[in-house]
Structures are given as structure tokens and as C-alpha cells.
């Protein structure tokens, strides 16, 4: 496909979502501002008596509440069986209680998610990315169909956050995101250190290559060590504890003004998270009174803040996909070039996992995101003038918060960064004409050349890793293809493979793919190669033994194959048959766009 045609096809424009009848802004009733702008369609007069009868049955206490009280949807991405999401129903109940105490009607509902940690490396991971669209569809559907006046959404795992913000942009009614919060670090007695979910995958690589050892007891077998890690990595509720995708998205969204101060770094099980639920109920009233709607907050300036925060904290490559999709949904022009521009000028400061030592719970202990933003606003890296859900500017929100302690080592000084520029590099070249996303922290170097070793699916690479077939010594660039949005289908994360390489200490290996990575992935990795193999991108015709060069200085990714030879190979290439032809993944594969534009499904 011609990249120019792709660009034209995906060019953002003013969103055209269905706009429901509602009372004009500033409508007064009995001397008070009418906050039931949308629900009044159903509750005023007697035009919808059936609707009012159903609402009385659902819990509206009296006629006065029916006619005047605003109706707020409380949308939690709750389900049991995943620590990221299992506590969100309780947070929603706390929010509902406070909404009712403030004279509002609150309707709690939930949407679905997929546990990336549980599905990682298996076929279930193909269902993960498309849940972002399901979440957005669900919240848009309930908000609009039920004529809710406002929405408070409670996400946990990483597709949850962009999903709820995309829904906000669609229905454009006063909305606040309350992040479910991150998990506390676990602790391994056999390794004598804090651990988290990423430790499990890296330990698996060491297990396979027989390098998994215990400093505490040399007599322990590798099975006993891995048992200890599995049993202690996740001590309770909350999203993965490092600067992985969930925390990358929550911190970026807070920097955009769509959540309350410190929402993104308040741990899931802390009393402060429950206090935030009470504050959210009060804040949503402010949003309704001042008509603070999502598309007033989703601006180019707020997205710029999100990009700055992502670079400063060493965030996940998945944020590129998600921020592009959020911007596209809101009609904000954001491109891969914006990520590179911001990465070129913003330092990488945070010593956070997966590349660093600390966890988000540790960041909360030294002041949290509000204190980090205070530093960045003072340094003119973050725009403090943007409006937020509190009715105040970002700078006003954080003014009363303390500065970062002088003796802390988690956030490096601006004049002594981990890396002078950001860790996200947008690469192009004859392997990725439409772009690719690399995560280069500097520890791995900035340039890698090696011999291609090609796998047509992640499962084939996993089998080779499990058999110990990836050689040490010479430089190798592992190529995993047919794992893009359409080809996967579902663009699965490849943490199992990337973590196994790290755990096995295969520093002679780089990994590139048209799929994507978990936020816990690190090493010399490149993902989102576009066009993807299933769409006839050049990655489809890479052969074992081709020399591949990844250069994060010149922002290139190339195979040492002539343009004529690439063309000849593509002419003889045959598209593979779709692996699924029915069900949600087939529908997703048919609708989804390319990774360089956020893998969206509503731009057709």
C-alpha cells in the first residue's frame, strides 16, 4: 500500500459522533443551574413514561430526583481473575456512594478486559489490543443510550486507560478517569530483592538456559527458585508495578488533565485511592457546572504533555499506539513524527522498572506524579496552563504539592539525566517505510547490526527459545512477522520472548517485529514495523541471513538488500491465508488500521 494513501486515509478530522438532544449550557431551573442536560430528555414532562417507570424501578427515589438530579455513569473495567482489575468494583461503589451523597443519581456498570500478564505468550494475547475498542464501544454505548449526563470511568490494566479516554472523546460529556492504581512490589527470598511480573518472564529465560541461581541458597534448584518467584511476584490488587503500559498511560493521561492529581501514582490498595474516589464525585459536579468536556481537554497541548511525560518516565512503546488512537478519536493531528520531535528534546529521568530499579509505589512515597509534574512545569517542559477536570489549570492543581525530596534517587536531576534525550525512537528505512517504534534506553547501545533469523509467528520463536536454539556469540537480529494488527490478528505483545532473551543474557540478540511489546519489555527491541507483513510490507520478504542494521542515531532500520531485490521478492510473495475467518478477531482484522496510525477501528 502506498504510504501517501495510508496517510490520506487516516488523516484526523473533526469527529462526527452522534450528538444527542440536550438542554443548552447554562439552562436554569428554580434558580439553579440544570446539570441534567442529557438525562432530562427522558425525565422531563411525560414524553418517556416507560423510561421513567424503569428508572424508578432502578432506584430513583422520588419525582424531584427524577426531574432535577443529574445521572452519572460509573464505568469500571472490573472483573475477577486479574489483580489489575479485581478491586475496581469496590472503587466504583465508593464513587457511587459519594455521588449519591452529593445529590446525584449514579448508575454503576462495567465493561470487559483481558489480562496481558495471564495471556502473555499464548493465543489469548491476540484478544488483548482489541479490548481497547470494546471498552470504548461499551462506555460510549451505555453513556449515550442511557442519556447519562456525565461519566466516571475506573480502568486498571493497560488497554483500559486509552479505551475509556476514547469513549470520553466520542460521547464528549463531562468525564473523569480514576485510575485503579498500581500493585505493590513483591519480594523474592531466593533472589533477595523486590520482584514483579516482569521478573517471572525474565526468570523463565534464565530457567531455559540454565542460568537461574539463588544468592540466598546455592542448593536450591531452578524449579524451586521459579516457584518462589511465581508465588511472590504479585502480592495483591493493582496494575503491574513498573513503568509498564498501564502506568505509562495513567501518568500520561494525568499530565493531560483528565484525572485528579496523583491518581496515576496512588497505589491500588492505599487509603489515598479511596479518598480519591470521594474527590472524583465532587469534581464531576464541577465539570458539569462548568461544562468541562473531554474534547476541551484533549488538545494538541495536552497531548504534548503526554508525550513529554512518556519520555521523562521511560514509558512503554504501547503508548505510541494508544496516544495516536486517542488523538485520532478526538480529531487531534498527532503523528509518529511528533513522538520523535519530543524524544529529541526531552531527557529520560526516571529510574523505574523495567530498565531501572524502582517501582511506581516508590514514586508515590516521594510525592507522586504531582511532584514530578511540579519539577517539569518549573523547567518549562510541561505546559502548566492546560485546563483540567478540577476546573483549575494543571499548574494550579499541583501548586500545593511538595517538591521532590533532594535526597531521592528515583527521578534524576535535569542536569544529570539517565539519557539526555528520550528513549523512544521512530525508525524508518527499507524495512519500515511507514515507520517503526524502538525503545532505546542507552544501556543497549544505539546501533546494532546482525544476521537475520526469521520466524513467521511468535510461537515459533518461543519454541526455539524453549529448546535453547538461539545461539550465543555472533550478532543476530530475530525477526518475528505476521503478528501485526491484521496479520496476528490482534498485534500480540511479545514480552515472553523479549524477557526470555534478557533472562538468558543473550546480549548478542536484537528483536524486531510487526507486532508489539509489553511495557515490561526492554533490550534492543523494535516493534510496530509498518507496513506489516500481512499487508505486503518489506518485513514479509526478509530472509534468514540477510544483514539488518538498526541505527537509533540516524533513526534507520534497513536490511542490506537492494531496492530491486526487495521489489523482486515482493512480486513473488503470496499473502498468507487469514488464520481466523469468524468471530471477534476476524471482525477486528477486517476493520483495524495500521500501527503507525494507532491501530484504530473507527476510521473507515
Quote the pLDDT of residue 19: 82
Residues sharing a CB contact under 8 Å with residue 53, sequence separation 6 or more, in sequence order: none
Q: Which residue has the higher pLDDT, 107 or 7?
A: 107
Identify whether the C-beta of residue 487 lies closer than 8 Å to the C-beta of residue 461: no
Residue 603 lies in a domain: no
How many domains does the structure of the chain reveal?
Answer: 3
Q: Which of 2-6, 213-217, 559-563 has the lowest mean pLDDT?
A: 2-6
Q: Is the pLDDT of residue 41 over 50?
A: yes
Q: Which residue has the higher pLDDT, 198 or 582?
A: 582
Question: Which one, of 241, 216, 34, lies nearest residue 117 by Cα?
Answer: 241
pLDDT range class, residue 12, cuts 50, 70, 90: low
Quote the pLDDT of residue 1: 40
Q: 195 lies in which domain range?
A: 186-232
Same domain, 484 and 544: yes
Quote the pLDDT of residue 202: 87
pLDDT range class, residue 2, cuts 50, 70, 90: very low
Residue 587 lies in a domain: yes
Quote the pLDDT of residue 422: 96
Residue 412 lies in a domain: no
Which residue, 232, 265, 293, sits at the end of a domain? 232
Q: Which residue has the higher pLDDT, 210 or 66?
A: 66
Same domain, 43 and 154: yes
Q: Is the pLDDT of residue 11 over 70?
A: no
Q: Whole-angstrom Cα distance, residue 68 to residue 105?
A: 10
Same domain, 257 and 224: no
Which residue, 398, 413, 448, sits at the end of a domain? 398
Quote the pLDDT of residue 179: 98
Question: Which one, of 517, 531, 532, lies nearest residue 484 by Cα?
Answer: 532
Quote the pLDDT of residue 212: 93
Same domain, 251 and 326: yes
Q: Whole-angstrom Cα distance, residue 557 to residue 560?
A: 10
Same domain, 389 and 369: yes
Same domain, 200 and 260: no
Same domain, 227 and 244: no
pLDDT one-digit tens code per residue, 306-356? 999 999 999 999 999 999 999 999 999 999 999 999 999 999 999 999 889
Q: Which of 215-219, 249-253, 391-395 has the lowest mean pLDDT?
A: 215-219
Residue 383 lies in a domain: yes
Same domain, 564 and 455: yes
Q: Where are the alpha helices (DSSP H) in 387-468?
A: 394-398, 458-466
Q: Is the pLDDT of residue 246 over 90?
A: yes
Q: Is the pLDDT of residue 9 over 60?
A: no
Same domain, 148 and 193: no
Same domain, 465 and 525: yes
Which residue, 383, 398, 413, sits at the end of a domain? 398
List C-alpha distances in Å: 368 to 69, 257, 261, 280, 502.
35, 15, 9, 18, 29
Same domain, 455 and 497: yes
Residue 411 lies in a domain: no
Q: Is the pLDDT of residue 37 over 50?
A: yes
Residue 517 lies in a domain: yes
Residue 541 lies in a domain: yes
Arithmetic mean of pLDDT, 75-101: 98
Nine-digit cell string for 249: 498511560
Report pTM: 0.95
Which residues carry out catalysis? 518
Arithmetic mean of pLDDT, 573-593: 94
Residue 408 lies in a domain: no
Angle at which helix 368-378 crosses helix 300-313, to 10 degrees, equals: 110
Average pLDDT along the chain? 93
Q: Is the pLDDT of residue 8 over 60?
A: no
CATH for 536: 3.50.30.80
Q: Whole-angstrom Cα distance, residue 198 to residue 185?
A: 11
Same domain, 313 and 178: yes
Q: Is the pLDDT of residue 218 over 90?
A: no
Q: Which residue has the higher pLDDT, 290 or 31?
A: 290
Amino acid at each position: 500500500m502506498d504510504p501517501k494513501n495510508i496517510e490520506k486515509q487516516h488523516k484526523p478530522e473533526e469527529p462526527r459522533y452522534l450528538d444527542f438532544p440536550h438542554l443548552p449550557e447554562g439552562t436554569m431551573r428554580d434558580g439553579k443551574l440544570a446539570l441534567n442536560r442529557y438525562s432530562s430528555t427522558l425525565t422531563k414532562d411525560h414524553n418517556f413514561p416507560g423510561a421513567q417507570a424503569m428508572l424508578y424501578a432502578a432506584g430513583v427515589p422520588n419525582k424531584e430526583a427524577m426531574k432535577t438530579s443529574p445521572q452519572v455513569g460509573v464505568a469500571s473495567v472490573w472483573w475477577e481473575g486479574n489483580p489489575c482489575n479485581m478491586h475496581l468494583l469496590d472503587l466504583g461503589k465508593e464513587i457511587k456512594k459519594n455521588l449519591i451523597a452529593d445529590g446525584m443519581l449514579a448508575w454503576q456498570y462495567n465493561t470487559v478486559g483481558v489480562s496481558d500478564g495471564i495471556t502473555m505468550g499464548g493465543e489469548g494475547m491476540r484478544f488483548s489490543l482489541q479490548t481497547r475498542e470494546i471498552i470504548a464501544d461499551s462506555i460510549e454505548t451505555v453513556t449515550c443510550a442511557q442519556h447519562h449526563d456525565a461519566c466516571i470511568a475506573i480502568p486498571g490494566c493497560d488497554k483500559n486507560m486509552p479505551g475509556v479516554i476514547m469513549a470520553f472523546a466520542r460521547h464528549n460529556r463531562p468525564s473523569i478517569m480514576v485510575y485503579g492504581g498500581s500493585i505493590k512490589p513483591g519480594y523474592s527470598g531466593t533472589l533477595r530483592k523486590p520482584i514483579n511480573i516482569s521478573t517471572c518472564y525474565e526468570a523463565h529465560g534464565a530457567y531455559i538456559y540454565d542460568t537461574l541461581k539463588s544468592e540466598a541458597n546455592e542448593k536450591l534448584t531452578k524449579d524451586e527458585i521459579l516457584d518462589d518467584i511465581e508465588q511472590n511476584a504479585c502480592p495483591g490488587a493493582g496494575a503491574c508495578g513498573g513503568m509498564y503500559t498501564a502506568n505509562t498511560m495513567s501518568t500520561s493521561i494525568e499530565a493531560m488533565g483528565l484525572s485528579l492529581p496523583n491518581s496515576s501514582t496512588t497505589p491500588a490498595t492505599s487509603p489515598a485511592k479511596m479518598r480519591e474516589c470521594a474527590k472524583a464525585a465532587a469534581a464531576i459536579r464541577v465539570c458539569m457546572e462548568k461544562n468541562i468536556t473531554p474534547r476541551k481537554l484533549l488538545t494538541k497541548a495536552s497531548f504534548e504533555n503526554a508525550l513529554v511525560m512518556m519520555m521523562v518516565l521511560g514509558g512503554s512503546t504501547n503508548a505510541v499506539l494508544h496516544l495516536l488512537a486517542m488523538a485520532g478519536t478526538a480529531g487531534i493531528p498527532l503523528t509518529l513524527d511528533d513522538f520523535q520531535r519530543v524524544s529529541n528534546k526531552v531527557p529520560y529521568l526516571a529510574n523505574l522498572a523495567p530498565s531501572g530499579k524502582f517501582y511506581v509505589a516508590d514514586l508515590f512515597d516521594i510525592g507522586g506524579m504531582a511532584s514530578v509534574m511540579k519539577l517539569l512545569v518549573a523547567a518549562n517542559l510541561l505546559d502548566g496552563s492546560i485546563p483540567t477536570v478540577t476546573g483549575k489549570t494543571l499548574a494550579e492543581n499541583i501548586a500545593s504539592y511538595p517538591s521532590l525530596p533532594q535526597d531521592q534517587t528515583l527521578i534524576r536531576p535535569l542536569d544529570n539525566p539517565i539519557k539526555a534525550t528520550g528513549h523512544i525512537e521512530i525508525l524508518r528505512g527499507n524495512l519500515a517505510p511507514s515507520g517503526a517504534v524502538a525503545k532505546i534506553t542507552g544501556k543497549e547501545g544505539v546501533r546494532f547490526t546482525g544476521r537475520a533469523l526469521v520466524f513467521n509467528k511468535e510461537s515459533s520463536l518461543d519454541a526455539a527459545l524453549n529448546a535453547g536454539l538461539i545461539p550465543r556469540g555472533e550478532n543476530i537480529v530475530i525477526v518475528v512477522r505476521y503478528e501485526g494488527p491484521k496479520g496476528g490478528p490482534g498485534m500480540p505483545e511479545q514480552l515472553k520472548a523479549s524477557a526470555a532473551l534478557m533472562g538468558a543474557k543473550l546480549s548478542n540478540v536484537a528483536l524486531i517485529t510487526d507486532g508489539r511489546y509489553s511495557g515490561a519489555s526492554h533490550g534492543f527491541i523494535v516493534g510496530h514495523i509498518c507496513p506489516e507483513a500481512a499487508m505486503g510490507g518489506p518485513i514479509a520478504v526478509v530472509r534468514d541471513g540477510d544483514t539488518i542494521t538498526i541505527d537509533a542515531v540516524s533513526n534507520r532500520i534497513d536490511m542490506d538488500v537492494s531496492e530491486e531485490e526487495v521489489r523482486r521478492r515482493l512480486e513473488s510473495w503470496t499473502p498468507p491465508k487469514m488464520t481466523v475467518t469468524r468471530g471477534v478477531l476476524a471482525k477486528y482484522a477486517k476493520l483495524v488500521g495500521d500501527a503507525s496510525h494507532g491501530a484504530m477501528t473507527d476510521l473507515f
